[in-house]
Amino acid sequence: MPTTHRPAAHRLAVALLLATCFLPAAASAKETAPDAALEALNAGFRSLYHQRTRQVLEALPLVLVVQNHAITAVRGTQRRLYSVPTQRHYLDARAIVHAALGFHGLMSSLAQAGPEAAGWTQADAFRQNLRRGRGMVDHTALSHAEKSLAREVLDLLDDATRQALSTRDVQAGWIAATLSRAEPLLAAFAESVGRAHAHSMLAVLAKVRSDATPEEWANVVAVVTGPMTPRRNNLDTAIVASVLGKEHLGTRIFYSENIFSVDGALDYLQIVAGDQELSRDVFGDPKRMWEDLFAPVSRTLVEGDFYTELGK
């Protein structure tokens, strides 16, 4: 463009820009702009609250994150790991118990698919794995009695799998009957392993306590990690409660459902502890934010307090 035309072109561009600014906004922009602005404000408000809950968490004198293989003592930003020495014992036992889960899953699938299903090759492989597992039992950390129970369980499942491969006829009733025969063996096995685990973890908790100051131990908070379904009568939670006191379940002893890492457990506790402070300041009740803010409306639909616990 020639140099003499630049001022005119510039004025035209500015005029067009100003005109555009005063044009009516599109309907969709009108509708979404306030929502987006409020969401931005909401994010900022939540960030401020998150910042405070982090401070509340780090101010706790001692937090114990309890995993089945270790207890992590957290003091502010400092962490100390206490290993549970029976971890190999626990893992060896888990492999035996899970053989029953594998049997149930495989046989139930075959029962649904029928005798011509391609999945029968899995049954061959499963039987080989049962035999391999049996050969490894002597080299595990299991006790003598536990090894005997493990062999019985694996032999029972192996014989049942052999029968299924021979007949190609798997029925739901037969699966249940087979596993019912295995149940007493599995129950005795689990109880023995559980007692050993409890003994070991109690010793670790005693060590943690000996390393803590009286003030830290008087105010200690524990978060137990684990999967969803074993939260009722959970062994690790029971071990902690037997030391800290059953009365602290739900106030200083928490179960972080489906959370398995130390960081995840601390994030969970950050919310719980932060909400507790907010509840006191707003409602005068430290537990109010542990229920839905809309709880008064819930009570108009379902009488009384409720919690959606499995099997209740």
Handedness of CA 206, 263, 237, 148 (dihedral sign): negative
The ranges assigned to domains in the chain are 52-62+212-301, 87-195
Identify the pLDDT of residue 10. Answer: 40
- In whole angstroms, give the CA distance from residue 101 to residue 95: 10
| pLDDT class of 3 with cuts at 50, 70, 90 | very low
pLDDT at 46 over 70: yes
Q: Kindly report the number of other CB atoms within 10 A of residue 282's CB atom.
A: 10
pLDDT at 23 over 80: no
What Å distances lie between residue 309 and 224, 232, 238, 239, CA to CA?
18, 9, 18, 22
Phi, psi for residue 213 in degrees, rounded to 5: -80, 160
Give the pTM.
Answer: 0.81
Query: 């100051």: which residue's tokens?
Result: 213
Nearest alpha-carbon partner for 220 in 64, 83, 82: 64
| Residue 176 DSSP SS3 | helix
**Structural tokens at position 243:** 């030391």
Q: Kindly report the number of other CB atoms within 10 A of residue 197's CB atom.
A: 20
pLDDT digits (tens, 9 = 90+) for 108-151: 999 998 777 767 899 999 999 999 999 999 999 999 999 999 99
